[in-house]
A and B are shown apart, each in its own frame.
Chain A
Amino acid sequence: MARYGMLINTKKCVGCFACRLACQMKNELEVKESFIHYEDVEKGKFPRVYAEVVPMQCMHCEDAPCQTVCPTHATYTTDDGVVLVEEERCIGCKYCMAVCPYHARVQIESTGVIEKCRFCYENGEVGKPSCVSTCISKARIFGDLDDPESEISKAIVAHNALPLAGNLTESKIFYVR
């Protein structure tokens, strides 16, 4: 069984929002609903300044606090490691939203369901993540973390990519920073 994850290389990200917009279209979200958000980092003083954009979305935590607190078991993890929300069970209590350390949860206006990045899961399997395919600087890689030969596994090793918050939640999105 695969264990899917993503690599985001902030050393390549220009903060162009293409990933957010592609994701919105793919997942048929309203314009104010977004599975991806961005943190701007600015360090140093003029003229020695470092600036960086950090795109964030559901990290598909192995140790997912949102799943722990979800009273209805609407939030669950698939066998291939993708954290999903079963719409038919979600009551919209927002508990998952409160506990997600990455603020990855989004309320869907039309249904009230609290959603998030699904790794483009479609028809019971991961699809081709739109945020990855549109990324204008190829800052994103998606693939199987358990396969040492996959592009993502190699890139994680090559760049020493790490989850955003250490092993706080055993996140499956790895960052190059």
Chain B
Amino acid sequence: MVWGPLIAGYLFLAGAAAGAYLTAVLVERLDPEARAMRFAGRILGLVLLGIGLVMLMIDAEAGLKNPLRFIYLVMNPESVMTLGVYFICVFMAVDFATCVLEFLKKPVPGALTIVGSVFAFAVAAYTGFLLGVVNDYPLWNNSVLPILFVASALTAGLAAVSLVGMFAERAAFEKMALLKQIHIGLAVLEGVALFALCAIVYSNSVEGAMAVSSMLTGSYAGLFWVGIVAVGLVAPLAIAVAELKSENASESGFGLALGAAGEVGALAGSFCLRLIVVLAAVPLILV
């Protein structure tokens, strides 16, 4: 296995960071007064990505031992990894500036938000393409994976910000039905993408079939069915649907706990997805 949990963690955190930032943008649109959620999204954008980058650097042993070498990361614009570095740099700079303005209670210029959103999306998408361009691993090298990763990134960001909203700004949060609708929409999209990924990868190569089998019935079956499907997709989906249907359920303590559980589940599922995709991939053998 080329990469392990550290890189899975990085992919998850980078996606969640971008998702959180984008959620903040949306929250700003929906309710300019919901400052906690907005601010949280922006801060999470920085913090999660920061932690992710630390994990990335720990995994890159030669760089860790000689940190100055990380400067060379910008050298090869042909590499998705270098592109990612560009995206991350711009995104983090914008997010940082946004946070400073937010902290100083100054208005954030619309143009900055647009740039930030574009690069946040780029960060979310690049984590998918980083793996997607690796021809060698059928589980990675397909057009579904980036979609799945983007959906999962947005879900994770949304979930993180929702958690904050639930506890810090409950009233405002409850009014934003669109967030839950998006949540549901993303979960459905993810489910479909996951199914498509398995079906396509399974049928296209022996190694792909091996990878998918290990996910569905083999050594990663627990992680897949419990972590991704049950905890990460079905449960949050069910909870979100239930919440949408029963207007005031979430006002109870139980409702809050359930809602929070759903969001935590979505986060966990998003991490499990990265983990399984990193670990279960089987390379093509050319002999």
Contact = CB atoms under 8 A, between A and B. Distances in A.
Q: Do chains A and B touch in the complex (CB under 8 A)?
A: yes
Interface of A: 39, 41, 54, 56, 65, 68-74, 87-95, 97-103, 107, 111-114, 164-165, 168
B69 A71 contact: no
B3 to A, nearest CB: 6
Contacts of B74: 71
A111 B62 contact: yes
Interface string B46-65: 00000000001001111111
A94 B79 contact: no
B135 A56 contact: no
Given A69-B79, A91-B60, A168-B286, 9 more contacts: A65-B135, A69-B81, A73-B76, A88-B69, A92-B60, A94-B2, A97-B2, A98-B131, A112-B60
A70 B76 contact: yes
Interface residues of B, number: 35
B33 to A, nearest CB: 43
A112 B65 contact: yes
Contact of A91 (B2, B62, B133, B137): B62
A52 to B, nearest CB: 9
B70 to A, nearest CB: 6
A162 B90 CA distance: 46
A112 B69 CA distance: 12
Contacts of A54: 287
Query: Which 6 residue pairs across A and B have the least CB separation, nearest first?
Result: A112-B61, A91-B63, A92-B62, A72-B72, A112-B62, A71-B81
Contacts of A69: 76, 78-81, 133
A94 to B, nearest CB: 5
A102 B82 CA distance: 23
12 contacts: A39-B287, A41-B287, A69-B76, A71-B75, A71-B76, A72-B69, A92-B61, A93-B59, A97-B2, A98-B137, A99-B136, A112-B63
Nearest to A92: B62
B78 A91 contact: no
Contacts of B85: 71
Q: B76, B78, B287: which has the most chain A beta carbons within 10 Å?
A: B287
Contacts of A71: 72-76, 79, 81-82, 85
Q: B2, B3, B62: which has the most chain A beta carbons within 10 Å?
A: B62
Interface in B233-287: 283-287
A100 B283 CA distance: 10
Q: A73, A93, A168: which has the most chain B beta carbons within 10 Å?
A: A93
B134 interface: yes
A35 B56 CA distance: 25
Nearest to B2: A98
Contacts of A39: 285, 287
B63 A102 contact: no
Contact of B75 (A65, A73, A92, A100): A73
B72 A165 contact: no
B198 to A, nearest CB: 21
A164 B286 contact: yes
Contact of B79 (A70, A100, A112): A70
Interface in B20-64: 56, 59-64
